Amino acid sequence: MISGARRNERHHPLLLWAPAALVAVATGVIALRRPESLRLTDLQVYLGALDTLRDGGSLYDYIRNGNAPFTYPPFAALFLLVPAQLPLTVLYAAWTLGTGLAAVALARLFDRRAAPWLALVLMLSAPVSSNFRYGQVSLLLAVLVTTDVLALRHSRHQGVLIGLAAAVKLTPLIFIPMLWLTGRRRAAAVATATFLACTTLAGVLLPQDSWRYWGTEVHDVSRLGFITSVGNQSLNGALLRLDVPHRPLLATLLAGTIAAIALWRVAGLRDPRTALVITGAAGVVLSPVSWTHHQVWLVLAAFLPLIRPARVAVLTVMLAPVTALAWTPLRESRLLLAIALALLLPTRSPARHEPANRPSTAGWARDRPTAAASPSPYPRSAGPGRPLPSP
């Protein structure tokens, strides 16, 4: 029976994608059938800001319903200019389809062998559901970053997509030091140059908006929405909810320290998937605002070599809706998960003699082939920043 099922999977590989496809279609239809005032509201903000710009105003003058302004760098407007030319109904459908395809692409990039199951988990997860519901751009940017880190690691063009993503939204900037510390220094330079080139282009084409954004708006966290809500799972958001004294300084010191330790841990790391998750988790902690749609990196951790309780914990936290966590002791669970991944996710395989079917005592890891068995694009390392002796 099992061998027959495996033959069917080989002969009909598309069947493996059916569950993810069904969830994607259902989620997309629900998103598109919401009332106009609630349908793809973040996409409506992008379009409204572009309309204001075309009418002679500033991107940052537009505020949807009095509480949803445009908060991205000016280059994001250039990035969205072409799709914004589509008729609204067509754009809504295309954007929703693109969100589903982005989730599939992310699954195939991160774990090709388990891609159908990762795609299903992504479709069911709160971050991807949020991207569907609000018409966000975050999932597309995650695909750009993941493509850069995993698919372009042997290409001279590595770094371009991270730089492009960071020019649209600043949160991917944290992946530039990751490239540098994992030995991809040319890629880090390319990413920096791409970010600066895109930002300069926006400065030339939109000088007033660029001056306003970099001079004022980038520092104004009050424009970022109701950042005290539980949907904001950054460290800054948690401290805001706790109403601690000296919160800005404390958030900067604590989040900066966690991010620095996370980046130190990826230094010389030979596994780019682990580096991607650790860095993405650190970004969730560090950003002043980390909405649900920012948190897709935490979902990917479930497809790293974790012991079963850790995998169950990741899936439980990331598949639960925000509303299910808001009024429970688990309301800060995604922040705690991000901190745990940034600081505790193992960066080395367990010892070779450990039985493959026994959970490792080394953090959350489970035994897997050693670095010698699987070539890596990154330098060999005996730990953060320490090269192994030559064999």
Share of the chain above pLDDT 90, in %: 72
Cα 194 to Cα 268: distance, rounded to the nearest angstrom: 24
Coil, strand or helix: which one is 64?
strand
**Is the pLDDT higher at 350 or at 316?**
316
CA proximity to 145, closest of 190, 117, 176: 176
The pLDDT tens digits for 110-126 are: 999 999 999 999 999 99
240-250 residue pLDDT tens: 999 999 999 99
CA distance 144 to 138: 10
Which pLDDT belongs to residue 11?
52
The DSSP element (H or E) to which 381 belongs, if any, is strand 381-383
| Residue 389, pLDDT above cutoff 50 | no
Name the DSSP class of 390: P
| Residue 135 near residue 126, CB atoms below 8 Å | no
In the prediction, which pLDDT does 355 show?
35
Whether this model's pTM surpasses 0.95: no
| Domain boundaries, given as residue ranges, for the chain | 13-136, 137-207, 221-351+358-385
In this predicted model, what pLDDT tens digit does every residue of 44-77 receive, in sequence order?
A: 999 999 999 999 999 999 988 867 899 999 999 9
